[in-house]
Amino acid sequence: MRFATALSFIAPVLPLAWAQLSLPDSPYTPPDASHGTQVTNGSTPNAQWSSLVGNLLYFYDEQRSGKLPSNERVPWRNDSALDDGKDVGLDLTGGYYDAGDYVKYTYPLSFTLMSICWGGLDAGHGYDLANQTAYLDDMLRWGLNWLLKAHPSPNTLYVQVGDGNLDNAYWGGDKDIPYPRPSYQVNDTSPGTDAAAQASAAFAACSALYANRTLSASSATSALSNASYASELQAHARDLYAFATNASGGMQTYQTAVPQSGEAYASSDFADELSVAALFLALSETGSNATDYYADAVKWYYSRNLGSQLKAGSETVLNWDSKTPAIPVLAAQLASAHPDVVSGSNATLQTWQQVVEDYFDIFINIRGRSYLTDGGLLYFPGDSDEASLNPALNLAMLMMRYASSGLATSNSNQDRYEQFAQGQLDYALGKNPMFVPYVVGTHPNSPANPHSAISTGYSPPNANSSALTAPDNLDADPAQEAYVLYGGVVGGPDAHDRFWDLRSDWAQNEVALDYTAPLLTLAAHALVRGAGDPYYTQVRAGAYDEVRPGGAPCDAAVQTGCKHRGGLSTGGKIAVGVVVSVVGLLLLGLGAYWVWHVRRQRRY
């Protein structure tokens, strides 16, 4: 048994088999942004949703690391970071750059892959309708094949490649990415329970997709079905789950073992990842394996009191750190599609429906810590202060999924979830006070300045020789970004629905693997539902320029020139900024770019 599994770990050093669905002879490339103003309502499948799915998948091509394939679609991308892993004698090239920078982070990548495979399980037919299933396959394999390399033995998982400090100080293109790019691992004696469990969840969810498992029969895709790939992923999912639960170093958050990862992606807990991994394993396994994993998922949920995170007032978001809201939704889908798996447990379909609907009700009736902005965006104080769209889109994704799986306990609830989700989706796609669809390159009003080194086109004067090669003025140098980063979903507006479209403002303008993921699943669902056009076809080009706010955002990224509402005076804020800057300089010794390091620090 062990021996068979161990053999599979030799595979990554051999050339990886890239065989997969063949990509179309004439590749999909995103149309000009003006396409977003064309009404295609009534087309079947809907042409606008189809190109949105295409653009969102194209974003992941733009974020690729490593040796690019001969059929690479993005003309301005080059091979990059070809020495990754050499420091540890491994090939860790490939995978995806995480966000606006060039670090590869396993924890949010695994969350993204899990999220997209889950979307394939319940709305995969949407990709078929859009003629994008081959690109879905390509996108998933580019990430999964790297994750396979990052898991070279059962109890070793690489959680980061690249130095966050050095990398964040570099603002050039993909040809001069500075080395050293160290590889950081968790292992049996220095474990990372959450990172291992999240990677297990990604492998299990994607294994289920490639195994053509039923989660929501009506809208799945079976085009990806590939038994050998599914079982390869499954073996890694099992081993990572065992590593997460049984490491001799015990259970701990991964940044305890690798503090470098905590600078950008500190995890607050690991029980949510354990439970969600066990649920996806229960889906991908059969027989007593499935019931055993389900029992484990239930055990983590109750013994770690995860339900308390779903109560009004302490309701948590779904994001790269917090997976608790996914648990009851996935468990309800599993219980409905595979009653045999849950039949021996006291946690039944009804148990999960109750949990889900109580949680959704917090938002429908606005009775928790979250609220709707004047413009209608669901806002979680704290969590939404950076990347405001992400919690809202992730919740919309859960609601749409639950409703479309036919799990709502009444028709009126079903309608409420669909309407609420649609409201958040519409907001993200232009029904907002800025008239901005927050997807780069999709409409004339889309953000023009994503915080993204790869698309900006800045040429560092001293190439890879120094850490300090960013321009003095990120927003002005160059005036216009060199490349349109199609399909990148940016962070989003502030709590007053205002959006500045400033490149330096990573809180509002950064793109990230996990920001684009929920919109992809929502777009696939829209195709399955036969929805009318995405909202942006109704948005007048140029409307944003008429309402673009003055002053500065006053968020974690941009403070100078603040005209804020309440809180510290401008002088006070600058004073705080100066103090923090000095501390940052002392701590990091990396100049004025310190603030990038706290880009996505722990939220609570």
Ligand X SMILES: *[C@@H]1O[C@H](CO)[C@@H](O)[C@H](O)[C@H]1NC(C)=O
The stretch among 90-98, 225-233, 515-523, 585-593 that binds ligand X (CB under 6 A) is 225-233
User: Of the two residues 242 and 574, which places its CB atom closer to ligand X in the complex?
Assistant: 242
Q: How far apart are CA 423 and CA 377, in angstroms?
A: 8
N- to C-terminal Cα separation, the chain: 42
- In contact, 271 and 245? CB cutoff 8 Å: no
One of 15, 287, 550, 566 touching ligand X (CB under 6 A) = 287
The stretch among 162-170, 220-228, 361-369, 411-419 that binds ligand X (CB under 6 A) is 220-228
Ordered DSSP codes for 101-157 = SS-EEHHHHHHHHHHHHHHHHHHHHHHHHTT-HHHHHHHHHHHHHHHHHT--BTTEE
Task: Write out the binding residues for ligand X, residues 10-39 only, by CB under 6 A.
Answer: 17, 19-20
Q: Which residues pair with 185 in a beta bridge?
A: 158
Ordered DSSP codes for 396-439 = HHHHHHHHHTT--SSHHHHHHHHHHHHHHHHHHBT-STT--BSB
241 interacts with ligand X by CB under 6 A: yes
162 interacts with ligand X by CB under 6 A: no
Angle (CA) 16-194-320 rounded to 5° is: 85
Quote the least distance from Cβ 246 to ligand X, whole Å: 4
One of 11, 259, 302, 563 touching ligand X (CB under 6 A) = 302
Give the per-residue contact string, 332-371, with ligand X (x = CB under 6 A; - = no): --------------xx---x--------------------
One of 59, 127, 184, 380 touching ligand X (CB under 6 A) = 184
The stretch among 218-226, 359-367, 370-378, 414-422 that binds ligand X (CB under 6 A) is 218-226
259 interacts with ligand X by CB under 6 A: no
Q: How far apart are CA 405 and CA 425, in angstroms?
A: 18
One of 229, 254, 380, 596 touching ligand X (CB under 6 A) = 229
Cα–Cα distance list, 278 to 159, 209, 345 (Å):
20, 16, 14
User: Of the two residues 53 and 397, which places its CB atom closer to ligand X in the complex?
Assistant: 53
Q: How far is CA 35 from the centre of its chain?
A: 26
One of 76, 344, 563, 583 touching ligand X (CB under 6 A) = 76
- In contact, 72 and 59? CB cutoff 8 Å: no
One of 226, 324, 384, 504 touching ligand X (CB under 6 A) = 226
Residue 170's Cβ-side half-sphere holds a number of Cα atoms within 13 Å equal to 26
User: Of the two residues 225 and 569, which places its CB atom closer to ligand X in the complex?
Assistant: 225
Instruction: Tell me the three state secondary structure of residue 312.
Output: coil
In sign, the C-alpha dihedral spanning 331, 337, 342, 348 is positive
Q: Omega into 478 within 30° of 0, i.e. cis?
A: yes
Quote the least distance from Cβ 244 to ligand X, whole Å: 8
Task: Write out the binding residues for ligand X, residues 36-65 only, by CB under 6 A.
Answer: 41-42, 45, 50
- In contact, 59 and 488? CB cutoff 8 Å: yes
User: Of the two residues 7 and 547, which places its CB atom closer to ligand X in the complex?
Assistant: 7
Quote the least distance from Cβ 53 to ligand X, whole Å: 9
Neighbours of 345 (CB within 10 A): 16
570 interacts with ligand X by CB under 6 A: no
- Residue 289 burial (10 A CB sphere; 0-12, 13-18, 19+): middle
One of 81, 109, 113, 130 touching ligand X (CB under 6 A) = 130
User: Of the two residues 34 and 228, which places its CB atom closer to ligand X in the complex?
Assistant: 228
User: Of the two residues 214 and 414, which places its CB atom closer to ligand X in the complex?
Assistant: 214
114 interacts with ligand X by CB under 6 A: no
212 interacts with ligand X by CB under 6 A: yes
Neighbours of 154 (CB within 10 A): 18
261 interacts with ligand X by CB under 6 A: no
Quote the least distance from Cβ 260 to ligand X, whole Å: 9
- The CA R_g of the chain, rounded to the nearest whole Å, is 23
Instruction: Tell me the three state secondary structure of residue 78.
Output: coil
Task: Write out the binding residues for ligand X, residues 516-535 only, by CB under 6 A.
Answer: 530, 532
- In contact, 243 and 151? CB cutoff 8 Å: no
**Token digits of residue 116:** 């997209």
- In contact, 426 and 532? CB cutoff 8 Å: no
Quote the least distance from Cβ 539 to ligand X, whole Å: 13
Quote the least distance from Cβ 338 to ligand X, whole Å: 12
246 interacts with ligand X by CB under 6 A: yes
- In contact, 393 and 428? CB cutoff 8 Å: yes
Amino acid, res. 217:
A
301 interacts with ligand X by CB under 6 A: no
Strands 183-187 and 371-372: unpaired
User: Of the two residues 314 and 465, which places its CB atom closer to ligand X in the complex?
Assistant: 465
Looking at beta carbons, which residue is closest to ligand X? Answer: 173
Give the per-residue contact string, 454-483, with ligand X (x = CB under 6 A; - = no): x---------xx------------------
The stretch among 180-188, 201-209, 399-407, 493-501 that binds ligand X (CB under 6 A) is 180-188
**Token digits of residue 51:** 């190109």
Dihedral pair phi/psi, residue 69, rounded to 5°: -75, 165
The stretch among 98-106, 170-178, 416-424, 507-515 that binds ligand X (CB under 6 A) is 170-178
Residues interacting with ligand X, by CB under 6 A?
Answer: 1, 17, 19-20, 41-42, 45, 50, 76-78, 130-131, 173-175, 179, 184-187, 189-190, 212, 214, 217, 222, 225-226, 228-229, 238, 241-242, 245-246, 257-258, 285-287, 289, 302, 346-347, 351, 454, 464-465, 530, 532
